[in-house]
Chains A and B, each alone.
Chain A
Amino acid sequence: MTEITDFLNSSGLTNLDWRAVVMVLVGLGFMYLAISRDMEPYELLPIGLGVIIANLPLAGMALFVPGEMGHQESGIFGVVFHYGLSFWNILPPIIFLGIGAMTDFSPVIANPRTLLLGAAAQLGIFVAFWGALATGLFEIQEAAAIGIIGGADGPTTIFLSAKLAPELLGITAVIAYSYMASVAFIQPPLMKLLTTEKERSIVMRPPREVSRAEKLLLPPVAMILIILVVPRSAPLISMLMIGNLFRESGVVPRLANTASNELVNIATIFLMITVGTQLSAERVFDAETIVILALGLVAFACGTVGGLLLAKLMNLVLREKMNPLIGSAGVSAVPMAARISHHIGQESDPRVYLLGHAMGPNVAGVIGSAVVAGVFISLL
């Protein structure tokens, strides 16, 4: 009888509380959005599974016990979190290597002024940063980790949170990816509110053909420049540019393929499930989480507004006007934000073709948010 009681006491069923049940349902919700709605499936599906794993009592998958005794006690995702994120923080740079190998920088090279839109869209980071400070609930490092959600860049958010506020990592990462998956709902109302029908109907000339030499020169030049100014952004920027040079060189197709497929996929599996396991019930059921959720939304909205308004401002001085809708793509969220710019443009005039143009600010947003993350890490 004692054995049965002991077994029941060691069972998850007897240790389940209502908050864990709610979190399991949240995990199932993420899985539903990924599978049925195709919303950021590569992120939300593993995160959803991680949430479920983390909230099953006594499973200990996210547990990390340091020292000799902990070797057999630590869970796989606890170990991945410790070594992959909080200790060495190597997973986000590996993802950046893959992003670099997958991204074509031609739109930025063809129209370099779109880089400014990527910079303006970083406005959301600072608005959310100040919002977090104003609540008085967060330390300045935590405020920076919350602000970076506005960069709409998952790996950058994870990289910065793991460095400055590891206790917020799960929340900030999930909120960043959730809002990135929701840009189709967040951005269009703001885009329509801040632009006129006439502006949305501006037809832009197709981007010029970019030479191979330009594509080969950009990664090393950008890498040297950015790392010289902000060395703490090196883990992200260097990997992004290395991946892109693998792609553009054309001489290492196996490396480019591995970086953009197998390697990034392996890193994504461990990173996303691990991020999900950081969403335990005791962390989520907290007033701070609700505040971060609201600040993340403000950050996304302000980033969108920043990009749009700068595009309108630039139109005042440009001879050849640009469609201001491409400004909203400066929030990163590659390539969803660019697709939304394109769709909204097409709604106004079917001749408006913005996808190629909007990828410029989109890529600039990735670089811009990595730079801001580097500045935060340098100064905090």
Chain B
Amino acid sequence: MTFDQELIRQGLTLTAIGIATAFGLLIVMMVLIYLMGWATGIPARRAARARVAAEAAAAESRDRALAAVAAVAALSRSGEHAEPTT
């Protein structure tokens, strides 16, 4: 077994740089993928928010319309039982 100092030094350098580069690059890639997921999700999140708001507005106007119908119905029913005023 021949293990001279120069060989050990070169081997250690290779190992340290190799491991650090592999981990470092893959960690940076991991962060970038999370960022990409977040960034590409922005339009989808906006669209989802807009859809929810539109649905809420639609529900509100539907409720208003129902309320109006109910009010008119109630008014006309009370009119049926009212005595003629003339």
Docked-complex contact B30 and A379, CB < 8 angstroms: no
Q: Is the CB of B11 within 8 A of A130?
A: yes
Does A375 contact B21, Cβ atoms closer than 8 Å? Answer: yes
B23 and A119: CB pair below 8 A?
A: yes
Chain A residues positioned under 8 Å from B74 (CB to CB): none
Check if A39 is an interface residue, CB within 8 A of chain B: no
Among the listed B11, B22, B37, which residue makes an inter-chain contact with A119, where contact means beta carbons less than 8 Å apart?
B22
CA distance A133 to B40 in the complex (A): 47
Interface pick from A5-13, A209-217, A286-294: A209-217
Contact bitstring B1-41, A, C-beta under 8 A = 1, else 0? 11100010011011101110111111111111110110011
Task: Type the 1/0 row for A316-341, where 1 means its CB is closer than 8 Å to any CB of B.
Answer: 00000000000000000000000000
Q: Which residues of B contact A126 (CB under 8 A)?
A: 15, 18-19
Q: How far is the CA of A375 from the CA of B17 in the complex (A)?
A: 7
Of A20-28, A52-60, A263-271, A365-373, which binds chain B? A365-373
Could you say which of B7, B15, B27, B40 contacts A116, with CB atoms under 8 Å apart?
B27
Tell whether, in the assembled complex, residue B34 and residue A372 are in contact, meaning their CB atoms are under 8 Å apart: no
The smallest beta-carbon distance between B3 and chain A, in angstroms, is 7
CB of B11 within 8 A of CB of A140, answer yes
Q: Are B26 and A364 in contact (CB under 8 A)?
A: yes
Interface residue SS majority, chain B: helix
Interface size on A, residues (CB 8 A): 40
B contact residues vs A (CB 8 Å cutoff): 1-3, 7, 10-11, 13-15, 17-19, 21-34, 36-37, 40-41, 44
CB distance from A83 to the nearest CB of B (A): 29
Q: Which B residues are CB-close (under 8 A) to A367?
A: 26, 29
In the complex, which residues of chain B have a beta carbon less than 8 angstroms from the beta carbon of A184? Answer: none
Whether B30 and A115, one on each chain, are in contact in the complex, defined by CB atoms closer than 8 angstroms, is: yes
Interface residues of A (CB under 8 A from B): 108-109, 112-113, 115-116, 118-119, 122, 125-126, 129-130, 133-136, 140, 143-144, 211, 213-214, 217-218, 221-222, 225-226, 229-230, 364, 367-368, 371-372, 375-376, 379-380
How far does the alpha carbon of A225 sit from the alpha carbon of B31 in the complex, in Å?
12
- For A108, A112, A226, A380, the residue with the greatest tally of chain B CB atoms inside 10 Å of its CB is A112
The chain B residue with its CB closest to the CB of A237 is B25
The residues of B that contact A376 with a CB separation of less than 8 Å are: 14, 18
A129→B26 CA distance, assembly (Å): 21
Q: Please, which residue of chain B has its CB at the minimum distance from the CB of A117?
A: B26
Q: Decide: B25 and A109 in contact? CB cutoff 8 A.
A: no
Residues of B within 8 A of A144 (CB): 14
Sample (23) of A-B pairs whose CB atoms are under 8 Å apart: A109-B37, A112-B30, A116-B26, A116-B27, A126-B18, A126-B19, A134-B3, A136-B2, A140-B11, A211-B44, A214-B37, A214-B40, A222-B29, A229-B24, A229-B25, A364-B26, A367-B29, A371-B21, A371-B25, A372-B18, A372-B21, A375-B14, A380-B14
B33 touches A125 (CB 8 A): no
